[in-house]
Structure 1
Amino acid sequence: MITIRKSHDRGHADHGWLNSQHTFSFADYYDQRHMGFRALRVINEDRVQPGKGFPTHPHRDMEIISYVLEGALEHRDSMGNGSVIRPGDVQRMSAGTGITHSEYNHSPTEQVHFLQIWILPSREGVAPGYEQKTFPEREERGVLRLVASPDGRAGSVMIHQDVNLYATALVPGEELVHPIPAGRHAWLQVARGPVLVNGLALEQGDGAAVSGEEQVLITGREKAELLLFDLA
């Protein structure tokens, strides 16, 4: 079964400096039908105005992944990390027993557009951690490139949950197949579209929950970019 979550049905918040769309319930947006999928708790598509951002705030017991689509995101945290995240970079922050951090648009002139992803950890109370890696576009072209996993294999960032996150970039007509073993599930999030998933049309910003299927067949309808979460 494939259940599509259309882009225009997502929650929406416009704070002036931040325009955010929420795939699942978040902050002032609450919908008991959309509280997450398996261990996947948050997918926010955020657009932050130049020089603006999220001031220092706390988190705990959450795996947080940032995936930048356009622009540059500046990160600082209580572990002493400071970095700039650009397209092709994947940042993982394990909040664990507690951290504080801030995220700002690094540019004084250009908007930053990114996906903020939260994954529930397999256990609470892990030590806080930070990791950032670059995956050149050529590594995602026409393949499902593993960018996050529970064991950090294939050069991916490591998360404390049985979730494998893949990224891909497709050209029109290009096809990819991802098998889904019995008992596992998938969530697909279209970062840029459009695509077909098992023959169903998805546009930019759409998501899809996949359960009880043996595989997903992804077809690029135009130039597209997509994230696939393989979940227990």
Structure 2
Amino acid sequence: MDQNNVTGNRGEIHDGLFNSHTGFLIDLACDAGRYAVVRHYEHLDPARITDAPLSCPSCKAANSTDPAAPPHRGRAALEHAKAVLARADQRGYPPPLDDEGLRLAFEALGVDHPPASTLYPLIREHLTDMLTDRALSVPNGVPSVLVEYTRYTGGTLQAPVGVGDRLMHDGIASGNWSRVRVDAIEDTPDGVVVTVTEKDWPHPRKWTGPDITRWFLKLDRAPINS
């Protein structure tokens, strides 16, 4: 999550919290909400981003080094996000597309109820950053094969494929949206070969690295501790 000072509708300077990939304004460090800076259904005017010092008292307090100061909303949301991801991981599934695991984790932690519900957009953005870091993480020495990965709150990037990853066949042209699990990635004299197992199909199938890049999307990274 990125932070930039932004000018509010009344001229006050807030601590703005942004999507680290798209640059979209999510919320403010105070509890005024993002609509103190943008109107409903409007995008942030880049001219609103400023180097001017904070003037919003709540945003200034949130950034204070005083131990008695109220917790920064972004940092409080990060702690919730860590707890949500840990609970989702306990289900034994890679969590980025395990919506049920995330839902149960949010529910168990009570973050869908006040006051934590006011942090929900920030919690989701922190989850997005952590899941993106996980999607981009593969062990050293794994042959490089890149596929498209869609972040939890939007935006796409190229992510490396690792053993244990779940991929989905890009079925826009073929209608085939089958999911596979990556079993091996090997360098061969003819190039990189990726071995995958398809659901309900007992025999592994081998794809060249370029074909994996062309035909597959990355769903999620294998659990870190696997």
Give the TM-score band, short-chain normalised. Answer: under 0.3
Q: Structure 1-normalised TM-score?
A: 0.25
* Structure having the higher Rg: 2
Query: Whose helix proportion is higher, 1 or 2?
Result: 2
TM-score where L is the length of structure 2: 0.26
Give the strand-richer structure, 1 or 2: 1
